[in-house]
Chain A
Amino acid sequence: MPLRVRSLSYAAGGKQILDQVSFELGGASRTVILGPNGAGKSVLLKLCHGLLRPAAGEVRWAGRAPDEARRRQGMVFQRPVLLRRSVAGNLLHALGVRGVPRARRNELVAAALRAAGLTDKARQSARTLSGGEQQRLAIARAWVLKPDVLLLDEPTANLDPEATRAIEDLILTFEAAGTRVIMTTHDIGQARRLANDVIFLNRGRLLEHSPAERFFAAPRDPAAARFIGGALLA
């Protein structure tokens, strides 16, 4: 699974969004990409997933290009893309696209629904779920394909504390079941609660990559220190 990102740059509309980002991920099982809004976190995640093409640099998953590694990953977007189908229908669609045999689908769907706490809403239209439930469904839909890695983009943005807690519990459940998690957040509290290691991003630059304990106790980067201290980084 090791992920190696080397000198990754990305620009759009004449604006540099990521600038020479390099890091390697090995053992840690929950990596949080932390930084203020507009730091380039989402773009970094999408580059790693191969949904965007870098202007320069490269991404390698155990030596393979993102396009070849994508089927081993599940991605959840900041605004979850839910199909105009039932809750169970969304899970079944993903399994169908990936060619999981019909006979196995119902059992996998049931397990994912149970984990996400959505069993009694299986037949409800996915788009009428609450914001937190929609996000849980999106995460469960990514997980139902048994990926090695879950890529989560701001999974709790705009959610209240209770819904946030439910999502964080779900992430921990899936991680405990053996799925590696790489997620972005601008929420320092969430990073503290979930991160094994932290990648700190500001204005498209990677400023620090440290184990979580060290990052929060003694950040090496001054901007990171100010961010942890509650300053608004411009």
Chain B
Amino acid sequence: MNDLSAAFALAARLVFGLDPELVEVVLLSFYVSVFAVALATAVGLPLGAAVGMFRFPGRRVVVVMLNALMGLPPVVVGLVVYMLLSRSGPLGELGLLFTPTAMIIAQFILVVPIVAALTRQTVADLHEEYDEHLRSLDAGRLDSIATLLWDGRFRLMTAVLAGFGRAIAEVGAVLIVGGNILHHTRVMTTTIALETSKGNLALALALGLVLIVLAAGVNATATLIGDVAHRRYA
């Protein structure tokens, strides 16, 4: 009990004292996840929109795959990216293994299906509702997609937030491809895993608190966006 309260006290001091090691880890976490989510959005948004809007052979298969890939196990993604980037792997010459870039790649792979699948659902729902009106206006494809994306903007923001929530809290993939190297590839989740096993509960707890606040913040923002959207656009 004493240990625990001491750990809490120390954790609080680390957080509110902006301990340099803690700050470094938090900043790297943000750098990796924000970068990964931005890239995943750039790819997943148009991909999801296209699948949601256009009919083509094999569309159902793509939809099922996108939805299934949302539940991709992070450790497996880590393993695959590891094998691709390892010295003997096809991309080994790039020397990316155990770098933040490798972690971005892994998280990108985890987040793309989330953004794409949620975008597809949003766009498909809106398309069904708007289709006759857009055709009546003689709207072209670009105009139609732009209309659907803009009118689905609140739900799309939620999709991106969901992707960010997954990325920032994920541990398996970044641990494998990042290696949890001090001052180099150590992010919040991997540090928690390491420090806990080393018995350094204070730092682990401090990072845990930051993560929880972050996760709660992401969720609260998503809920807020949903509320605003509902109030304004029923």
Closest to A82 in B: B133
Chain B neighbourhood of A81, CB < 8 A? 129-130, 132-133
Chain B neighbourhood of A84, CB < 8 A? 151-152, 229, 232-233
What CA separation (Å) do A96 and B137 show in the bound complex?
10
Chain B neighbourhood of A85, CB < 8 A? 150-151, 233
Q: Indicate if the CB atoms of B234 and A127 lie closer than 8 Å.
A: yes
Is B138 in the interface zone, CB < 8 Å from A? yes
Partner of B130, one of A70, A74, A83, A96: A83
A-B contact count (CB 8 A): 48
Is A217 in the interface zone, CB < 8 Å from B? no
What CA separation (Å) do A128 and B234 show in the bound complex?
7
Partner of A49, one of B136, B151, B152: B136
Is A125 in the interface zone, CB < 8 Å from B? yes
Is B143 in the interface zone, CB < 8 Å from A? yes
- Over the window 129-155 of chain B, the binary record of Cβ atoms lying under 8 Å from chain A Cβ atoms (1 yes, 0 no) is 110111111110001000100111000
Q: Is the interface of A mostly helix, strand, loop or mixed?
A: mixed
Is A93 in the interface zone, CB < 8 Å from B? yes
A93-B130 in contact given A70-B136, A98-B138 (Cβ < 8 Å): no
- Over the window 150-182 of chain A, the binary record of Cβ atoms lying under 8 Å from chain B Cβ atoms (1 yes, 0 no) is 000000000000000000000000000000000
Is A77 in the interface zone, CB < 8 Å from B? yes
Q: How far is the CB of A16 from chain B (nearest CB, A)?
A: 22
Partner of A83, one of B136, B147, B232: B147
Closest to A80 in B: B133
Partner of A127, one of B133, B143, B233: B233
Chain B neighbourhood of A96, CB < 8 A? 143
Closest to B137 in A: A97
Chain A neighbourhood of B229, CB < 8 A? 84
Is A11 in the interface zone, CB < 8 Å from B? no
Chain A neighbourhood of B151, CB < 8 A? 83-85
Chain B neighbourhood of A206, CB < 8 A? none
Residues of B participating in the A interface, judged by any CB pair closer than 8 Å:
129-130, 132-139, 143, 147, 150-152, 229, 232-234
8 contacts between A and B (CB under 8 A): A46-B132, A83-B130, A84-B151, A97-B134, A97-B137, A97-B143, A127-B234, A145-B137
